[in-house]
Amino acid sequence: MAALRVGLLGAGNISPAYITGIGDWDVLELAAIADMDEAKARAVAAEHHVPAAVSVDELLASPEIDIIVNLTVPKAHAAMSIRALEAGKHIYTEKPLSVRRMDAKQVLETAAAHGLRVGSAPDTFLFGQHQTVRRLIDEGAIGHPIAAVANMAGHGPESWHPNPAFFYQNGGGPLLDMGPYYVTCLLNLLGPVHSVQAYARISVPERSAGEPAGFQRIPVETPTHFGGTLDFHSGPLATMVMSFDVWKHNLPLLEVYGTEGSVQVPDPNGHDPKEVRVSHRGGEWEEVPSRYAGEFRRGIGLADMAEAILSGRPHRASGALAYHALDVMEGFFESSSQGKRITVKSSVERPAPLPIGLAPRQMDA
């Protein structure tokens, strides 16, 4: 089977997950890694057996690379994606597509002008349990969807991330960092969003990290608590909380409510291994087994894009999907600052569900 050659741009915290995930798929071949910190790229390459560590310029110029995977920090996403596209490479970027809608639009326009693909994380909506929920909703297992809740609440990434400052700068915050998982999950289940209304707050003006060694004060530039509602074209209203300000809670991560029942959706970030659970007309929750054969990991969206390039079909974790998700999230900021409901200008079709029974290695979707 043909494989497309992948170059990783960014050798930070998430890069090992991609190195492992790429290994799950025959359609992907990891060729090289680069970082503006070249020593970091060399260290990751040595530890995880990546064939080459090169400079950023070498990666972009290499005729050996078909797809650049952009794992830089969010603020650098758009500029680096555009550089890669202008160098003739397809790009697949970590989320968000960009921190600003106008830059994201430029990424999509550059790709279109060069006849290249843009893919974007998150691809967790392609994991087996999420695809199972999609099938259940499409089959009418909960009747017609009328509402949903989506909640990500915690006390921020400084408890686990080695360089947490960027999460509190403009372009960071819980909405742009975690919102892509939840919004994309909802888009996959319920389709495009018509309008949003939201509030946003900076609850604590300064955070601290690295205690006691390497203590650093982190000024908070961007809202850390969001509450809002998404009004979907297909009818449902989803209420969403995205927060770095909550120590403890009992909120469900994501649930969808329909005219005939309810469905509990596993963690949109892919960490919580809980089963899909459905209740019919107020009855007990019943577990529904996944209809997919294996455990998927980050990289499935990239594999799907590679196979789509080779076979000439649309890919699922697309730039258009990520753009609509960003448009929804920018709507949250605008609604909060302007004190009014915001109509979301872009739209997107739901990506096709994955074929039932699909397992890692073979992407023949």
Ligand X SMILES: NC(=O)c1ccc[n+]([C@@H]2O[C@H](COP(=O)([O-])OP(=O)(O)OC[C@H]3O[C@@H](n4cnc5c(N)ncnc54)[C@H](O)[C@@H]3O)[C@@H](O)[C@H]2O)c1
Residues that bind ligand X (CB under 6 A): 9-14, 35-37, 40, 56, 71-74, 76, 80, 94-95, 163, 177
DSSP, res 166: G
Name which of 163 and 279 has its Cβ closer to ligand X: 163
Tokens of 158: 């400084």
Shortest spacing between CB 85 and ligand X, in angstroms: 15
DSSP, res 158: G
**Cα radius of gyration (the chain):** 20
Shortest spacing between CB 180 and ligand X, in angstroms: 8
Shortest spacing between CB 310 and ligand X, in angstroms: 26
DSSP 66-77: SEEEE-S-HHHH
Helices (H), the chain: 15-22, 38-48, 56-61, 74-86, 101-114, 128-138, 173-190, 300-311, 319-338
Shortest spacing between CB 219 and ligand X, in angstroms: 18
Shortest spacing between CB 9 and ligand X, in angstroms: 6
Q: How many CB atoms lie within 10 A of CB 145?
A: 23
Tell me the CB-side half-sphere exposure of residue 227, using CA atoms within 13 A: 4
Quick one: CA torsion of 23, 24, 26, 27, rounded to 10 degrees?
A: -90
Are 70 and 94 contacting, i.e. CB atoms less than 8 angstroms apart? yes
Q: How do strand 342-343 and strand 216-219 relate by DSSP bridges?
A: unpaired
Q: How many CB atoms lie within 10 A of CB 26?
A: 17
Name which of 111 and 178 has its Cβ closer to ligand X: 178
Tokens of 25: 């798929």
Nearest to 65 by CA among 92, 44, 98: 92
Name which of 10 and 156 has its Cβ closer to ligand X: 10
Name which of 75 and 280 has its Cβ closer to ligand X: 75
Q: Which residue is nearest to ligand X (CB)?
A: 12
Name which of 182 and 232 has its Cβ closer to ligand X: 182
Are 91 and 76 contacting, i.e. CB atoms less than 8 angstroms apart? no
Shortest spacing between CB 181 and ligand X, in angstroms: 9
Shortest spacing between CB 76 and ligand X, in angstroms: 4
Shortest spacing between CB 259 and ligand X, in angstroms: 35
Q: Which amino acid is at 237?
A: L
Shortest spacing between CB 258 and ligand X, in angstroms: 30
Name which of 7 and 10 has its Cβ closer to ligand X: 10
Name which of 13 and 20 has its Cβ closer to ligand X: 13
Name which of 165 and 310 has its Cβ closer to ligand X: 165
What is the distance between the terminal CA atoms of the chain, rounded to a whole angstrom?
14
**What are residue 74's phi and psi, to 5 degrees?**
-50, -40
Name which of 14 and 237 has its Cβ closer to ligand X: 14
Tokens of 244: 């770095």
DSSP, res 318: B
